[in-house]
Homo-oligomer: A and B are copies of this chain.
Amino acid sequence: MGFKHTDSDLTLTHLDQSGQVRMVDVSDKKRSAREAIASSTVRLSADAYQLLTAQDNAKGEVLNTARIAGIQAAKRCADLIPLCHSLALDYIGIDFELDPTQHSLHIQATCRCSYTTGVEMEAMMAASVAALTIYDMCKAADKGIVIEHTRLLRKSGGKSGVWEAQS
């Protein structure tokens, strides 16, 4: 199943034996409780960071907006990532942590489902769109904001079990 890499078991699972894309067949996979946690970091200028954090109300409005955007994007992940399966998420949560020394905002997105496929892409999408929303709301102050290190931190459930990023 999948395009065979010559020297290993590694495959690009979204390609079939003739080398063409198709959605991976999950008919025979078992439902299990699955979770994925992804993170992303938004690095701002000192001025933009100050603007974002100086007043509680402004900070609350911006972070809430980004949280809603990330949650909505997780639900629509299969609309955006061509070979992703549609699935119904049991939980989506997005946490923010401010880092005043780095003028950074750290985003962590957690998704859960009880299904036959993992939710890594949903968590990655939630973190990415939350980060892009922060960019959008601060870009008038700083177009040079950079979104760094969007990655999977941890996944659990399914046949391959727990995986954790090496820090």
Within 79-107 of A, Cβ neighbours of B (below 8 Å) are at: 79-94
CB atoms of B91 and A129 under 8 A apart: no
Nearest Cβ distance between residue A165 and chain B, in whole angstroms? 6
With a cutoff of 8 Å between Cβ atoms, the chain B residues found around residue A13 in the complex are: 140
- Choose one: B60, B71, B114; the contact of A57 (CB below 8 Å): B60
Do A16 and B141 touch across chains, with their CB atoms under 8 A apart? no
**Docked complex Cα distance between A64 and B126 (Å):** 19
Q: Give the distance in Å from the alpha carbon of A54 to the alpha carbon of B24 in the complex.
A: 21
What class of interface size applies to chain A in its complex with B? 35 or more
Contact pick for A8, options B22, B47, B132, B136, CB 8 Å: B47
Q: Is the CB of A90 within 8 A of B58?
A: no
B84 with A79: CB separation less than 8 A: no
B residues in contact with A22, CB < 8 Å = 67, 71, 91-94
List chain B residues, Cβ under 8 A from A112.
Answer: 25, 27
Complex-state Cα separation, A19 to B21, whole angstroms: 19
Select A82's contact among B33, B71, B121, beta carbons within 8 Å: B71
A77 to chain B: closest CB distance in Å? Answer: 9
Please give the distance in Å from A3's CB to the nearest CB on chain B: 5
What B residues does A89 contact at CB under 8 A? Answer: 23, 85-86
Chain B residues within an 8 Å CB radius of A131: 150
Residues of B near A155 (CB, < 8 A) are 143
In the bound assembly, the distance between CA atoms of A2 and B19 in angstroms comes to 26
Beta-carbon nearest neighbor of A59 in chain B: B12
17 pairs of residues in contact across A and B, judged by CB atoms under 8 Å: A5-B141, A8-B47, A10-B48, A10-B51, A12-B51, A12-B52, A12-B137, A14-B65, A27-B33, A57-B60, A83-B136, A84-B136, A85-B88, A86-B88, A121-B132, A128-B132, A128-B147
